[in-house]
Amino acid sequence: MRARIASIENLIARDPGHRNILGLIQRDHLRLAALSLIRARRVLITSGFPILRAGAGETDGPPGALAIGQALARMGVQVVYLTDRHHEQLFRAIGAEPLIRFRPELLEQDSFSHLLAVERPGRARDRNYYNMRGEEITPLVEPVDQLFLEAESRGTLTIGIGDGGNEVGMGRVFRGVTRAVEHGAKIASTVPTDYVVVSGVSNWGASGLVGALSVICGQDLLPSGEQIRESVMRLVGAGAVDGLSGRAEPSVDGLPLEHTLELVEEIRFHVHPSPLRRVRELPVGVVGAGQSGLAVSRLLLSRGARVRVSDERTVQVPEDLEGCQWELGRHTLEFMRGVELVVRSPGVDPRIPLIRGLRQRGVPVVSELEAAYQLGEPKVVAVTGSLGKRSTIELLGQIMESCSRPIALGGNKGKALSELLLEDPSNWMALAVSSFQMESIVRFRPRVAAILNIRPSHLVRDSAPTETVRIKSRIFMNQGAEDLLILNYDDPRLRPLADKHWGETLWISSREPVDRGAWMEGKTIVLAPQGEVVGRIPWEACVPYEDMLTAVLAAWSLGATPSQLMSAAARLVPPKT
């Protein structure tokens, strides 16, 4: 359960507005908010953010409020919607009933177990309300946020969902908003909530919360794509506008509605436990017949699954896989009819029509890395980064071989995890992991994870650096207190990730000493993984510093002593690039 909700929490952190969403997320608040709602009795849900230029409400907020309210109602919770006179017609247009208007004495006259806000303005330090441009909107806002400030004294739990820093609940991350969001010092909300769900679009945060409730309850409480589309169309018909463009169009924050529909289907995939828990006789589709696709096909067959493989190329079918069904030269939905799970090879773009069509049909799609991990749950060291991940695991392999503790190497541009599991499932494995592999993981949990760097020339599918960081952070999203994360202190984009990790974080640096980890002093590696220096390793640089420092720390975590590391470093052969 925790892994599925952690994955949802990362998915809704997609950051189309470049607002440092990942940095603002409070880890595990999504799960905790959902757990609190499981015990809810009567919930007051509010939304409605005015768009100054249009003099109207926006399409972000009310659909999310409705989705949460309908999910709670299906759980047997009494729901009441609250808005102001500026948004009343929008709520009625989408059927958000019963609906009440704001009045200051509301909590004195009525009782609620929870107050929940989706994209609702929260007052700034000067007690005024602002939009993302820093423009004052106070005359258009009724002080609904006052109820949230009063709730604590009444023993009422509060939940806020926002995407920009100026909403109810974002007072919980006030400092981060003032530092990282444009106009943040002026617009940052000072209204905290017990739990805050931060997302790239507030409707996405609401869908994430419904997804988390679905995981906990074991039933799909998410709205259908048609229901989402209908609610947005009704909003626009009642006068709502896109919050970014200010136009009356069925889009949200400048994004086509399809972005939301696809995200909801990705969330829906997490609702039920993995089909791989009952792998025998499970019909599974594999998309892509490269090295990873063939390896996972063999692994699935060894566990008793019924496998069919699709590749848009015309490839030679291996003799040992001739018993599978094959589709060559194209990808079609018809060929995948009846499968209960699809494994996507890392080179297959998740945006191709086949993958999108499968998700729209509710078929879960996972990476080879995820499927193999679920089938074997091996002991893994996983390394990612824009550059150097393959070099790093090869260095680690040489060090561990020198220590007479060999480990298996694989991952990106090497053996697939599925292949390593077929060879020796009990061995430690070091994997070079690409962003493409991590896009659709859910339960993958390396014992040791490392992120080497983020380079502008190596961004994920031409995305922004913040989106690349979000995807790479999935490498440690399932790690616990006993697991280790290694980060490059020299890369400022990576430093904030330490706050998202529950286990121990070690640092590497080629420029300066670090609190715990390893760094360079001239031609010497200084090893201090627990704070005190335990070794100094002479080293003539033959590979990038970050690769070698990471390999040394990973080897130490696997039991290599400082003297063994020194001996191994003297005999290292530079990996081939």
DSSP string spanning 231-289?
Answer: HHHHHHHTT-B-TTT-SSSSEETTEEHHHHHHHHHHHHHTSS--GGGG-TT-EEEEE--
- pLDDT (tens digit, 9 = 90+) per residue, 206-222? 999 999 999 999 999 99
How many whole angstroms separate alpha carbon 130 and alpha carbon 142?
13
- pLDDT (tens digit, 9 = 90+) per residue, 415-428? 999 999 999 999 99
Sign of the dihedral through C-alpha 21, 25, 28, 29: negative
Please list the residue range(s) of the chain that carry CATH number 3.40.50.720. 275-370
Q: Which two tokens stand for residue 522?
A: 């001239």
- pLDDT (tens digit, 9 = 90+) per residue, 515-565? 999 999 999 999 999 999 999 999 887 889 999 999 999 999 999 999 999
Residue with tokens 């889009």: 251
Q: Which two tokens stand for residue 13?
A: 């952190």
Domain 18-269 falls in which CATH fold?
inorganic pyrophosphatase (n-terminal core) (3.90.1640)
Task: Tell me the one-letter amino acid at 337.
Answer: R
- pLDDT (tens digit, 9 = 90+) per residue, 229-241? 999 999 999 999 9
Q: How confident is the model at residue 128 (pLDDT cuts 50, 70, 90)?
A: very high
**Displacement of CA 553 from its chain's centroid (Å):** 26
How many whole angstroms separate alpha carbon 289 and alpha carbon 315?
8
Orientation of helix 389-402 relative to helix 562-570, angle to 10°:
110
Share of the chain above pLDDT 90, in %: 86
Residue 458 has what pLDDT? 54
Residue 437 has what pLDDT? 86
Please list the residue range(s) of the chain that carry CATH number 3.90.1640.20. 18-269
CB atoms within 10 A of CB 559: 10
Sign of the dihedral through C-alpha 12, 455, 547, 522: negative
**Displacement of CA 157 from its chain's centroid (Å):** 25
Q: How confident is the model at residue 460 (pLDDT cuts 50, 70, 90)?
A: low
Give whole-number Cα distances, 417 to 349, 382, 479, in Å: 20, 11, 19
Mean pLDDT of 272-286: 94
Residue 251 near residue 242, CB atoms below 8 Å: yes
Backbone angles phi, psi at 253, to 5 degrees: 50, 40
* Max Cα distance, the chain (Å): 77
| Whether pTM exceeds 0.85 | yes
Any residues with CB less than 8 A from the CB of 435 and at least 6 apart, and which? 384, 460, 468, 471, 472
Please list the residue range(s) of the chain that carry CATH number 3.40.1190.10. 377-570
Backbone angles phi, psi at 16, to 5 degrees: -65, -25
Q: Which two tokens stand for residue 284?
A: 């599974």
Any residues with CB less than 8 A from the CB of 307 and at least 6 apart, and which? 284, 285, 286, 297, 300, 301, 321, 324, 325
Residue 535 near residue 560, CB atoms below 8 Å: no
Q: How confident is the model at residue 466 (pLDDT cuts 50, 70, 90)?
A: confident
Give whole-number Cα distances, 197 to 169, 202, 289, 489, 500, in Å: 8, 9, 39, 28, 14
Q: Which two tokens stand for residue 193?
A: 């909530």
What's 275-370's CATH class? alpha beta
Model confidence at 576: pLDDT above 90: no
Mean pLDDT of 35-44: 97
How many whole angstroms separate alpha carbon 561 and alpha carbon 18?
43
Residue 201 has what pLDDT? 98
Residue 359 has what pLDDT? 84
How many whole angstroms separate alpha carbon 528 and alpha carbon 534?
6
- pLDDT (tens digit, 9 = 90+) per residue, 479-513? 999 999 999 999 999 999 999 998 999 999 999 99
Task: Tell me the one-letter amino acid at 185.
Answer: A
Residue 23 near residue 496, CB atoms below 8 Å: yes
Sign of the dihedral through C-alpha 165, 166, 172, 175: positive
Task: Tell me the one-letter amino acid at 554.
Answer: A
- Angle at CA 449, nearest 5°, toward 398 and 520? 60
SS3 32: helix
The architecture of the domain spanning 377-570 is 3-Layer(aba) Sandwich (3.40)
